Every structure is written in C-alpha cells, then in structure tokens.
Amino acid sequence: MSGDFYTWLRETRCTTAREAAERLEISLESARERLRRLERRGALEKKFFNRVAVYCVKEGAQLPPPLTRGPRVETLRRMDQVVDLLTREGCISSSVLCKTLGLGHTTVRYITTMLLSQGRAVEVVVGKTAIWCRDRRTAEELVAKLREAAHRLASRRRYIKPSELLQMVRRDKEAYELFARFIKLSRIDGDHIGPVAMAFADSILASLYGYPVRYAPHRHVYLVSPQPRQDLGGIAIRDGANSVVTVSLPPDLAAALEDAERRGASAEELVVRAVEQLLARFR
C-alpha cells in the first residue's frame, strides 16, 4: 500500500491528511505523522488553505520508490530456514519452530502460511496443535504413526479418556518419543493436563473411534473398537493445492446416511431433515 501511496502522491502532487488516511486506510493521526515525516525529510511542503493543512510535493524532491509486492528479504530467508528444518526433521510443530527460530507465533504463522500457499509445506492440524511437514506423504505417515501408537495403547481397555491416553503415552517409551515432538508431556501430572495436550489426544481418539460418549458436562470417553476408523476424523491435512477436512458425525446420523446410500435416497434431503430435527430440539 505504501508504494501505491507514493505513486498516487506523485500524480496528485498535493493532499490533505484526511485524503491520505483514506488512501492508506489508516487513522487520521497516523496519516498526519507520515506526511510530517516526509515534510521533515524535505520531500513535502506544508501549506494552509482556509486553515486546512495541505502537503504538496516539492519541485525536484525525491520521494521513496514504490515498494514491490511480495515477501521481504528477511521473510524469504526465514522461509528457507523453515524449509531446511522440514527437510531434515520431516515434521515440526509451530511451537518448536518458534523456539528454534526465536520468533513469535504470529511471525511463524505468517511464514508457514506463505510456504503452504507456495506448496512448499503441508499443515497437519491435530486438536489445537499445528504441525508442518515437508510434503503430503510425510504428513500422512506422521498421522498414521500417531493413530497406530494411540490405538496400540487404547486397545488394552474397553473405554478410554483423553487424559488416560496421555498417561499411558508417558509410560510407553516409543509413544512418548513420538508424542513429545509435538506436545509437552513433561507437564502432565495426574489430572493437571494442559488444554493443548488434551485437545491433541482428544482429536486422535476421535479419528480412531468416532463420536465420544458423554457422561458429564465437559467429560467424555471413547468406546475402543478393535477396528479403528479409516478416515481421519477431526484431523486435517492441508497442502495448499487441496485440503482434506473431515468431521465426526453422531452415530445415528452416520447410520442413517449409510442406509440412505444403500437405498439410493438423496443424502442432501436426509441432511436437511436431520438439521431441521436438530433445530426443532432447541425451539
């Protein structure tokens, strides 16, 4: 936007702070400060017309050149750093990237989103945790390993809670090494489990066993099935070119959809009726 502003300023030659604010889409005070800065540098001259300050380009003054669009040099360098890390490690969480590069979450999110849009990284979202992988195959292999480790531990029980899965992961060396790459397991102590780790385990269990069974507000368990689901449930894999976003359906709605498919009925009509019934419950 700054480059467009300087081009516009060269063409109009004169502007008020209000016009500049509208052009830059910033506050009036910020626009005044930018114009004053250019005035102090000798590029603009301030005049008054009916008590209104007007800033005009001085004859022969050199305004800053228009900025080229796209990431800055520093951003490009950091993008290359992330790609190098992904090449070596395969997959890294956003939190680890922040610590490794010494950057804030907002900056890392911007960099990784740029890589995602360019097809140079793949995002895996497990609960509240964003994991970045070098390619889609690596991402799918990671998800498969997480699901396999979780099912191996959960299959020892009939029912399992996310907190119980995390406790079992802590006691299993192989699972601990895998999960600890993306969530903090050292802080898990009894029932004191952080929301990020809890959401991570919850998402994996949902991808394995589907809709949970609630037994109290904000408390639920999963019925462990000998044969886990094939779809990813609440886990999402995004590679820029296309996204896979799956959701968990209540058992009765999932069964009804399967029955409709066998009978050749319209799934769209069934979904509409299901939504109408859900809305009717809250009226």
pLDDT in tens, 166-180: 999 999 999 999 999
DSSP letters, 226-262, are SS--SS-TT-EEE-SS-EE---PPPHHHHHHHHHHHH
Does 246 have pLDDT greater than 60? Answer: no
Torsion angle of alpha carbons 270, 276, 281, 283, nearest 10°?
180
| CA nearest neighbour of 78 among 114, 119, 130 | 114
Average pLDDT over residues 15-28: 81
pLDDT band, residue 244 (cuts 50/70/90): very low
Mean pLDDT of 240-252: 55
Q: Which of 192, 156, 191 is nearest to 175 (CA)?
A: 156
Rg for the chain, CA atoms, rounded: 27
Nearest to 81 by CA among 102, 105, 57: 102
Assess whether the region 73-137 and the region 138-234 belong to the same CATH fold.
Answer: yes
pTM of the predicted model as reported, rounded to 2 decimal places? 0.60
Thinking of the domain 138-234, which architecture would CATH place it in?
A: Orthogonal Bundle (1.10)
Q: What is the pLDDT of residue 279?
A: 61
CATH topology of domain 2-57: Arc Repressor Mutant, subunit A (1.10.10)
Mean pLDDT of 219-236: 85
Residue 20 has pLDDT above 70, yes or no: yes
Domain range 73-137, CATH architecture: Orthogonal Bundle (1.10)
Whether the pLDDT of residue 265 is over 70: the answer is no
93-142 pLDDT, tens digit per residue, is 999 999 999 988 888 998 999 899 888 899 999 999 999 999 999 999 99
Q: Could you give the 3-state DSSP secondary structure of residue 17?
A: helix
What whole-number percentage of the chain has pLDDT above 70? 74
| Residue spans per domain, the chain | 2-57, 73-137, 138-234, 251-281
pLDDT at residue 57 greater than cutoff 80: yes
